[in-house]
């Protein structure tokens, strides 16, 4: 369960979470699950993060997505209006991350796409909607977890990030993870898994196995965009998420 949040959930919100949970399970072809306990009220965050002014925009960075703790704010301030790699020149928004700054569960994808670049938030397009369903099926809501990418600016034409771009950006992901200190990181897709693990094995071989990244348990699974193209693989992704839920001590759906 979440380590933090902002308000007690109302009936409508719990019902919406339940609907997301059931929708994902139905998509994944899962017909039978053990009852999961309702989400506990989140703990109050420990103090407000100090305000900080953006040197470039004159607006408090705390108002930006994903900066809800002093540690994350420090990482965001360090990035500034980053042009450390060539992706900086083409972005609309630097997509830092989003979610609970004290999340026990973090998802890491590849990089922002067009929707994400425009909105400044990771995983908001079709793949993002599926990720939100996956999160709901695990008994969380999007606000409980933290979501980020290996690179924070959109690669042109949605190409893969190049090695120099990863080298420039990954240190900030590392400090982001250190600031959040999640119990588990889920690497979404081949690219995130191979980058974080420095392992060129195919995702079909990496997924479903536990690894360590910077002292944090890491589980690779399929990227939601791949699952949209290959819905018959959703069952395998669900198995991977079950491992994660078990690691986090949450109720598990039964194997199909």
CB of residue 12 to ligand SF4, shortest distance in Å: 37
Report the site for ligand SF4 in 168-187 (rule: CB under 6 A): 168-169
Does 245 help bind ligand SF4 (rule: CB under 6 A)? no
The CA distance from 124 to 119, in Å, is 8
The window from 10-18, 54-62, 76-84, 225-233 that contacts ligand SF4 (CB under 6 A) reads 76-84
Inter-residue contact 28 to 235 (CB < 8 Å): yes
Could you give the string, one character per residue 109-128, with x where binding to ligand SF4 holds by CB under 6 A and - elsewhere?
--------------------
Is 152 a binding residue for ligand SF4 by CB under 6 A? The answer is: yes
Stretch that binds ligand SF4, among 6-14, 61-69, 161-169, 206-214 (CB under 6 A): 161-169
Tell me how far, at minimum, the Cβ of 169 lies from ligand SF4, in Å. 3
Q: Which stretch binds ligand SF4 (CB under 6 A): 7-15, 80-88, 225-233, 236-244?
A: 80-88
Closest by CA position to 97, among listed 132, 50, 145: 145
Q: Which residue has the tokens 């990030």?
A: 161
95 near ligand SF4, judged by CB under 6 A: no
Question: Could you tell me if 242 and 178 are in contact, meaning their C-beta atoms sit under 8 angstroms apart?
Answer: no
Residue 162 makes contact with ligand SF4 by CB under 6 A: no
Q: Does 204 bind ligand SF4 (CB under 6 A)?
A: no
Give Cα separations from 37 to 88, 132, 140, 206 (angstroms).
44, 19, 11, 31
Position among 64, 110, 165, 240 found at the interface with ligand SF4 (CB under 6 A): 165
**Strand ranges (DSSP E) for the chain?**
98-99, 105-109, 146-149, 184-188, 211-213, 216-221
Exactly one of 28, 72, 94, 186 binds ligand SF4 (CB under 6 A); that residue is 94
Are 43 and 4 contacting, i.e. CB atoms less than 8 angstroms apart?
yes
Least distance to ligand SF4, CB of residue 112, Å: 9
- Residue 87 binds to ligand SF4 (criterion: CB under 6 A): yes
DSSP string, 87-117: GGGG-SS----EE-TT-SEEEEES---HHHH
75 is an interface residue for ligand SF4 by CB under 6 A? no
CA–CA distance, 122 with 96 (Å, rounded to integer): 8
User: At CA 24, angle to CA 34 and CA 1, rounded to 5?
Assistant: 55
β-pair partners for 99: 146
Binding site for ligand SF4 (CB under 6 A): 79, 82-85, 87-88, 94, 151-153, 165, 168-169
């Amino acid at each position: 369960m979440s380590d933090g949040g902002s308000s007690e959930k109302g009936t409508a919100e719990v019902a919406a979470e339940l609907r997301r949970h059931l929708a994902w399970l139905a998509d994944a072809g899962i017909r039978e699950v053990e009852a999961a306990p309702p989400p506990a009220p989140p703990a109050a965050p420990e103090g407000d993060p100090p305000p900080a002014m953006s040197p470039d925009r004159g607006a408090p960075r705390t108002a930006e997505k994903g900066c809800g703790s002093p540690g994350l704010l420090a990482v965001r301030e360090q990035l500034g209006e980053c042009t450390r790699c060539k992706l900086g020149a083409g972005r609309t928004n630097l997509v830092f991350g989003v979610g609970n700054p004290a999340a026990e569960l973090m998802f890491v994808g590849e990089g922002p796409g067009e929707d994400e670049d425009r909105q400044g938030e990771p995983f908001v397009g079709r793949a993002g909607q599926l990720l939100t369903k996956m999160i709901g099926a695990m008994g969380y809501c999007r606000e409980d977890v933290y979501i980020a990418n290996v690179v924070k600016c959109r690669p042109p034409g949605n190409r893969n990030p190049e090695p120099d771009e990863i080298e420039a950006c990954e240190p900030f992901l590392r400090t982001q993870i250190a600031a959040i200190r999640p119990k588990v990181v889920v690497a979404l897709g081949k690219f995130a898994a191979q980058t974080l693990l420095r392992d060129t094995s195919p995702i079909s071989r990496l997924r479903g196995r536990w690894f360590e990244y910077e002292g944090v348990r890491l589980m690779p699974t399929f990227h939601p965009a791949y699952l949209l193209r290959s819905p018959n693989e959703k069952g395998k992704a669900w198995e991977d998420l079950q491992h994660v839920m078990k690691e986090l001590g949450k109720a598990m759906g039964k194997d199909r």
